[in-house]
Amino acid sequence: MPDLRYRVRGGIPLRGDITISGSKNAALPLIAGSILCTGETVFRNVPRLRDIEVMLEILRFLGADASFHEGTVRIRTDRMQSKPIPGEFVGKLRGSIVLLGPLLARFGVVEMAYPGGCVLGKRPVGAHVAALVQMGATDMSTEEALHLQGALHPAHVVLPEFSVTATENVLLAAALLPGRTRIDIAATEPHVQDVERFVAAIGAKVEGIGTHTVTVEGVHQPACVEHRVVNDYLEMGVFALAALVTKGKVRIHGADPEQITMFLETIRRMGAVFRWDEDGVLFVDGELSSLRAVKVQTLIYPGFPTDLMAPMGVALTQANGVSRIFETLFEGRMAYLYELEKMGAHIEVLNAHEALIIGPTPLRGRQVASNDIRAGAAMVLAGLCAEGETTITDVRYIERGFDRLDEKLRKLGASIERIEEGESSK
Catalytic positions: 118
Provide the 8-state DSSP code for 37: -
Element (H, E) at 52: helix 50-61
Do 272 and 296 meet the contact criterion of CB atoms below 8 Å apart? no
> What whole-number distance in Å separates Cα of residue 288 and Cα of residue 293?
17
Do 376 and 398 meet the contact criterion of CB atoms below 8 Å apart? yes
Is the preceding omega at residue 257 within 30 degrees of 0, hence cis? no
> What whole-number distance in Å separates Cα of residue 74 and Cα of residue 16?
33
- Mention every residue, 6+ apart, whose C-beta is less than 8 A from residue 424: none
Provide the 8-state DSSP code for 321: E
Provide the terminal-to-terminal Cα distance of the chain, rounded to the nearest Å.
17
Beta strands in 127-185 (DSSP E): 138-139, 145-149, 156-158, 179-184
> What whole-number distance in Å separates Cα of residue 175 and Cα of residue 199?
6
Beta strands in 159-245 (DSSP E): 179-184, 205-207, 213-218, 226-228
Please list the residues that pair with 183 across neighbouring strands: 157, 214
